[in-house]
């Protein structure tokens, strides 16, 4: 998909500057204030969310001592997508480690693989499982609307395939990875990306990679018709319904609505006939999250022989469930 021109972005900016009412009395301006974003003159976003970003820690003698080692590897000379690769401080020498490809949250609009909460999460996975973790820095909307993030995630899978084959040489850290035990893990928007990129990967020969499972932590899906949980929690302080509508308007191409398959996985589209070919899918849903009902969509696929495991956390969780490592605590990487 071609990158939107500045002219397109400026037109979109002019439309949005009218700050039309979204629902009730809320406007785009209200949603932007909640999200900590504002338009730049060139049609890009100024993101002012105050969550620190951190550098990788490739050396053990870093102070303070890191939980795991990490380094950044760029995927393409044409954009800023990259892999932040993690390994334990002392990887085992007598066995290979599962490879986890991680996609961070942020509703397609916010955050980075270097955002401290995601960086620390990947540090914990690498050190505690242990595992080799490839966290994907994908392009954000609206500068790069969907499917740009899916394309970057697919390129990360191709990068892992080339590492397995030794194409152009293999990074020494990838010597610890077991390419026959690959898992895709995503939080929020990252879980949406995991679902879509796993389906896209079915169209390619990615051997010797073997994707054994998908792990979706409170996936960011939607639809034009609100669910009961969205109505029940429509004034949620983190993902209010009107804010959610604005986020999807920023993430989707201008000619698509919230019932497109990028947003609504049960709307039909090109994927439904292939869902049964996915490996096992583990889905974590948080009762206190407005989007919890969106995690029930696998029920509509059960007749197709799909292998879904949905776990609902019956506690007062909220939209920032991507902060924790709960989706992986009880999963065996076999």
Q: Give the DSSP per-residue string, 262-291.
A: TT-TTS-TTTGGGGGGS-EEEEEEETTSTT
Q: Please classify residue 290 by burial: count the beta carbons closer than 10 Å to its beta carbon, then call 0-12 exposed, 13-18 middle and 19+ buried.
A: buried
Q: What is the pLDDT at residue 205?
A: 98
Q: What is the pLDDT at residue 333?
A: 40
Percentage above 90 pLDDT, the chain: 70
d(CA 84, CA 118): 11
Q: Are 240 and 128 in contact (CB under 8 A)?
A: no
| Average per-residue pLDDT for the chain | 86
Query: At residue 298, does pLDDT exceed 80?
Result: no
d(CA 107, CA 192): 9
Q: What is the pLDDT at residue 324?
A: 36
List CB contacts of 153: < 8 A, sequence separation 6 or more. 101, 103, 136, 138, 193, 194, 196, 197
Q: pLDDT of 19-53, one tens digit each? A: 455 556 789 999 999 999 999 999 999 999 779 99
Q: What is the pLDDT at residue 24?
A: 60
Query: At residue 271, does pLDDT exceed 80?
Result: no
Confidence of residue 300 (pLDDT cuts 50, 70, 90): low
List CB contacts of 223: < 8 A, sequence separation 6 or more. 258, 259, 263, 264, 267, 294
Query: At residue 158, does pLDDT exceed 70?
Result: yes
List CB contacts of 116: < 8 A, sequence separation 6 or more. 51, 52, 53, 54
Q: Are 215 and 186 in contact (CB under 8 A)?
A: yes
CA 284 to chain centroid, in Å, comes to: 14
Tokens, residue 65: 């001592």
Q: pLDDT of 223-264, one tens digit each? A: 999 999 999 999 998 889 999 999 999 999 999 999 999 999
Percentage above 70 pLDDT, the chain: 83
- Mean pLDDT of the region 126-145: 97
């Amino acid at each position: 998909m071609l990158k939107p021109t500045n002219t397109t972005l400026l037109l979109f900016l002019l439309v949005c500057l009218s700050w039309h009412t979204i629902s009730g009395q809320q406007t785009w301006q209200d949603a932007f204030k909640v999200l900590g974003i504002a338009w730049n003159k060139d049609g890009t976003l100024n993101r002012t969310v105050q969550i620190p970003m951190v550098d990788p820690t490739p050396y053990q003698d870093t102070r303070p001592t890191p939980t795991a080692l990490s380094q950044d590897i760029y995927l393409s000379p044409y954009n800023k997508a990259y892999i932040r690769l993690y390994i334990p401080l002392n990887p085992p020498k007598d066995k290979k480690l599962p490879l986890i490809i991680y996609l961070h949250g942020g509703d397609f609009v916010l955050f980075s693989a270097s955002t401290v909460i995601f960086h620390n999460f990947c540090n914990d996975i690498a050190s505690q499982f242990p595992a080799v973790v490839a966290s994907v820095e994908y392009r954000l909307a609206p500068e790069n609307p969907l499917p740009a993030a899916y394309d970057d995630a697919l390129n990360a899978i191709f990068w892992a395939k080339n590492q397995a084959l030794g194409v152009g040489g293999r990074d020494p850290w990838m010597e610890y990875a077991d390419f026959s035990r690959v898992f895709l893990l995503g939080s929020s928007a990252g879980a949406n990306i995991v679902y879509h990129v796993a389906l896209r990967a079915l169209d390619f020969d990615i051997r010797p990679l073997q994707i054994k499972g998908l792990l979706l932590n409170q996936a960011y899906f939607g639809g034009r018709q609100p669910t009961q949980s969205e109505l029940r929690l429509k004034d949620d302080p983190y993902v209010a319904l009107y804010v959610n509508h604005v986020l999807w308007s920023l993430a989707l191409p201008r000619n698509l609505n919230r019932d497109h398959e990028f947003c609504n996985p049960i709307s039909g589209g090109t994927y439904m006939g292939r869902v049964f070919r996915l490996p096992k899918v583990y889905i974590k849903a948080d009762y206190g999250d407005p989007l919890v009902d969106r995690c029930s969509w696998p029920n509509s696929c059960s007749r197709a022989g799909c292998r879904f495991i949905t776990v609902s956390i019956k506690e007062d969780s909220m939209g920032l469930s991507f902060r924790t490592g709960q989706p992986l605590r009880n999963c065996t990487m076999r």
